[in-house]
Amino acid sequence: MTDVTYNFRLEKTIRDRAFAVIRSQGMTPSQALRMFLTQTAETNQIPLSLNYERKFSASTLEAIAELKNDGGKTYENLEEFLQAKKQEPRQ
């Protein structure tokens, strides 16, 4: 079997956070990536769920509720909505 080296780029903060989790499980990052790729090759599937429930923060849920109760106004995009909110008098 011939080994190869593969390099890729990712954000330092993502790397640091992910590697900390991997190390907490007693593995090296190389072992974890090798395990992931081996499982992908063996099963012809990505070995993790891409179906997850999106969790919104309380402030996001509040903003969604505010948008739904905005007197029937509609906006073309988020920027238009935010601009309208900036122009409203504060209560």
pTM: 0.53
Pair of tokens at residue 21: 């989790």
Give the 3-state secondary structure of 15-57.
HHHHHHHHHHCCCCHHHHHHHHHHHHHHHCCCCCCCCCCCCCC
Going from N- to C-terminal start, the domains of the chain cover 1-50, 58-87
pLDDT at 42: 95
List the chain pLDDT tens, one digit each, 91 residues.
Answer: 799 998 999 999 999 999 999 999 999 999 999 999 999 999 999 998 777 777 778 888 787 777 766 666 777 777 887 888 777 776 6
